Protein backbone atom coordinates (compact mmCIF):
# COMPACT_ATOMS: atom_id res chain seq x y z
CA UNK A 1 0.00 0.00 0.00
CA UNK A 2 1.52 3.31 -1.07
CA UNK A 3 -0.11 5.50 1.52
CA UNK A 4 -2.15 5.03 4.64
CA UNK A 5 -5.86 5.74 4.23
CA UNK A 6 -8.55 5.96 6.95
CA UNK A 7 -10.40 3.04 5.38
CA UNK A 8 -7.36 0.81 6.05
CA UNK A 9 -8.16 1.04 9.76
CA UNK A 10 -11.86 0.34 10.24
CA UNK A 11 -12.67 -0.16 13.93
CA UNK A 12 -15.80 -1.52 15.57
CA UNK A 13 -16.78 0.54 18.62
CA UNK A 14 -19.84 0.86 20.81
CA UNK A 15 -22.27 3.31 19.24
CA UNK A 16 -22.25 5.13 22.59
CA UNK A 17 -18.51 5.76 22.26
CA UNK A 18 -19.09 8.36 19.51
CA UNK A 19 -21.30 11.43 19.32
CA UNK A 20 -22.95 13.50 16.58
CA UNK A 21 -21.53 16.90 15.73
CA UNK A 22 -23.36 20.10 16.65
CA UNK A 23 -23.47 21.64 13.17
CA UNK A 24 -24.66 19.08 10.60
CA UNK A 25 -27.04 20.81 8.17
CA UNK A 26 -28.14 17.46 6.70
CA UNK A 27 -31.46 16.18 8.04
CA UNK A 28 -33.02 12.85 7.17
CA UNK A 29 -36.78 12.57 6.64
CA UNK A 30 -38.54 9.49 8.09
CA UNK A 31 -38.89 7.64 4.73
CA UNK A 32 -35.13 7.82 4.13
CA UNK A 33 -34.48 6.74 7.72
CA UNK A 34 -36.65 3.66 7.15
CA UNK A 35 -34.81 3.01 3.86
CA UNK A 36 -31.44 3.20 5.59
CA UNK A 37 -32.65 0.72 8.21
CA UNK A 38 -33.83 -1.68 5.51
CA UNK A 39 -30.51 -1.21 3.70
CA UNK A 40 -28.46 -2.21 6.76
CA UNK A 41 -30.78 -5.09 7.62
CA UNK A 42 -30.68 -6.42 4.05
CA UNK A 43 -27.03 -5.73 3.12
CA UNK A 44 -25.26 -5.28 6.45
CA UNK A 45 -22.89 -2.43 7.23
CA UNK A 46 -21.33 -1.36 3.94
CA UNK A 47 -19.98 2.03 4.97
CA UNK A 48 -18.20 3.03 8.16
CA UNK A 49 -19.03 6.16 10.12
CA UNK A 50 -16.34 8.82 9.73
CA UNK A 51 -15.29 10.38 13.04
CA UNK A 52 -12.92 13.12 14.08
CA UNK A 53 -10.78 12.32 17.08
CA UNK A 54 -9.06 15.32 18.63
CA UNK A 55 -6.78 13.09 20.69
CA UNK A 56 -7.80 14.85 23.92
CA UNK A 57 -9.74 11.95 25.39
CA UNK A 58 -13.26 13.14 24.52
CA UNK A 59 -15.73 11.12 22.47
CA UNK A 60 -14.90 11.10 18.77
CA UNK A 61 -17.31 13.36 16.86
CA UNK A 62 -19.20 12.14 13.80
CA UNK A 63 -18.16 13.85 10.56
CA UNK A 64 -20.17 11.62 8.22
CA UNK A 65 -22.65 8.87 9.00
CA UNK A 66 -24.85 10.44 11.65
CA UNK A 67 -27.91 8.84 10.07
CA UNK A 68 -26.25 5.42 10.16
CA UNK A 69 -25.37 6.10 13.79
CA UNK A 70 -28.98 7.03 14.60
CA UNK A 71 -30.43 3.94 12.92
CA UNK A 72 -27.87 1.78 14.77
CA UNK A 73 -29.85 2.44 17.98
CA UNK A 74 -32.84 0.52 16.64
CA UNK A 75 -32.99 -2.96 18.22
CA UNK A 76 -33.01 -4.93 14.96
CA UNK A 77 -29.94 -3.07 13.69
CA UNK A 78 -28.09 -3.12 17.03
CA UNK A 79 -28.64 -6.89 17.21
CA UNK A 80 -26.61 -7.38 14.01
CA UNK A 81 -23.36 -6.29 15.66
CA UNK A 82 -24.03 -6.33 19.39
CA UNK A 83 -24.46 -2.54 19.50
CA UNK A 84 -21.20 -1.71 17.77
CA UNK A 85 -20.70 0.44 14.68
CA UNK A 86 -17.82 0.59 12.18
CA UNK A 87 -15.78 3.79 12.25
CA UNK A 88 -12.79 5.33 10.53
CA UNK A 89 -10.93 8.27 12.02
CA UNK A 90 -9.72 11.46 10.40
CA UNK A 91 -7.65 14.25 11.87
CA UNK A 92 -7.83 18.01 11.63
CA UNK A 93 -9.16 21.04 13.40
CA UNK A 94 -12.86 21.90 13.85
CA UNK A 95 -12.96 23.91 10.63
CA UNK A 96 -11.51 21.01 8.66
CA UNK A 97 -14.05 18.68 10.28
CA UNK A 98 -16.94 21.00 9.35
CA UNK A 99 -15.79 21.24 5.74
CA UNK A 100 -15.39 17.46 5.61
CA UNK A 101 -19.00 17.02 6.76
CA UNK A 102 -20.22 19.30 3.96
CA UNK A 103 -18.05 17.53 1.35
CA UNK A 104 -19.40 14.14 2.40
CA UNK A 105 -23.00 15.41 2.35
CA UNK A 106 -22.79 17.15 -1.01
CA UNK A 107 -20.75 14.52 -2.84
CA UNK A 108 -23.55 11.94 -2.69
CA UNK A 109 -25.28 13.02 -5.90
CA UNK A 110 -28.97 12.72 -6.62
CA UNK A 111 -31.35 10.33 -8.34
CA UNK A 112 -33.05 11.27 -11.59
CA UNK A 113 -36.50 10.10 -12.65
CA UNK A 114 -35.74 8.35 -15.95
CA UNK A 115 -32.95 6.10 -14.64
CA UNK A 116 -35.08 5.28 -11.57
CA UNK A 117 -38.00 4.39 -13.87
CA UNK A 118 -35.71 2.04 -15.79
CA UNK A 119 -34.56 0.39 -12.56
CA UNK A 120 -38.15 -0.14 -11.42
CA UNK A 121 -39.00 -1.56 -14.87
CA UNK A 122 -36.01 -3.93 -14.71
CA UNK A 123 -36.98 -5.12 -11.22
CA UNK A 124 -40.60 -5.71 -12.17
CA UNK A 125 -39.64 -7.37 -15.48
CA UNK A 126 -37.21 -9.55 -13.53
CA UNK A 127 -40.04 -10.97 -11.45
CA UNK A 128 -39.68 -8.88 -8.31
CA UNK A 129 -43.14 -8.40 -6.82
CA UNK A 130 -44.42 -4.82 -6.88
CA UNK A 131 -44.99 -4.89 -3.10
CA UNK A 132 -41.41 -6.07 -2.57
CA UNK A 133 -40.08 -3.23 -4.72
CA UNK A 134 -42.17 -0.84 -2.66
CA UNK A 135 -40.94 -2.18 0.69
CA UNK A 136 -37.29 -2.86 -0.12
CA UNK A 137 -36.84 0.56 -1.74
CA UNK A 138 -39.14 2.23 0.81
CA UNK A 139 -41.23 3.85 -1.91
CA UNK A 140 -44.83 4.85 -1.68
CA UNK A 141 -47.25 2.79 -3.77
CA UNK A 142 -47.90 5.76 -6.03
CA UNK A 143 -44.17 6.30 -6.59
CA UNK A 144 -43.69 2.72 -7.81
CA UNK A 145 -46.79 3.07 -10.00
CA UNK A 146 -45.65 6.34 -11.56
CA UNK A 147 -42.13 5.08 -12.20
CA UNK A 148 -43.52 1.89 -13.78
CA UNK A 149 -45.86 3.99 -15.93
CA UNK A 150 -42.98 6.25 -16.92
CA UNK A 151 -41.00 3.17 -17.97
CA UNK A 152 -43.90 1.96 -20.13
CA UNK A 153 -45.44 -0.66 -17.88
CA UNK A 154 -49.04 0.54 -17.41
CA UNK A 155 -50.28 -3.06 -17.26
CA UNK A 156 -48.26 -3.59 -14.06
CA UNK A 157 -50.02 -0.78 -12.28
CA UNK A 158 -53.49 -0.79 -13.78
CA UNK A 159 -55.34 1.01 -11.04
CA UNK A 160 -58.98 0.22 -11.64
CA UNK A 161 -59.11 -1.09 -15.18
CA UNK A 162 -60.41 2.19 -16.58
CA UNK A 163 -58.81 3.90 -19.52
CA UNK A 164 -56.79 7.04 -18.98
CA UNK A 165 -58.91 10.04 -19.85
CA UNK A 166 -57.72 13.00 -21.86
CA UNK A 167 -58.09 15.23 -18.81
CA UNK A 168 -58.79 18.31 -20.88
CA UNK A 169 -60.19 18.75 -24.33
CA UNK A 170 -59.65 22.07 -26.07
CA UNK A 171 -62.75 23.83 -27.35
CATH architecture of 6-106: Alpha-Beta Complex (3.90)
Report the sign of the C-alpha dihedral through residues 26, 28, 33, 35, in that order: negative
CB 90 within 8 A of CB 54: no
pLDDT digits (tens, 9 = 90+) for 48-94: 999 998 777 789 999 999 999 999 999 999 999 999 999 999 987 88
Q: How confident is the model at residue 166 (pLDDT cuts 50, 70, 90)?
A: low
Q: Where are the chain's structural domains?
A: 6-106, 113-150
Q: How confident is the model at residue 153 (pLDDT cuts 50, 70, 90)?
A: low
Report the sign of the C-alpha dihedral through residues 84, 85, 91, 95, in that order: negative
Question: pTM surpassing 0.85?
Answer: no
Amino acid sequence: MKNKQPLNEVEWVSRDAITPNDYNPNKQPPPEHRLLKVSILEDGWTQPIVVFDDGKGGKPVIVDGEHRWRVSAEPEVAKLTGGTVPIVRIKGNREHRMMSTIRHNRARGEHHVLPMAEIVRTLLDGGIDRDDVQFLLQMEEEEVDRLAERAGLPDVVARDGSEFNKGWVPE
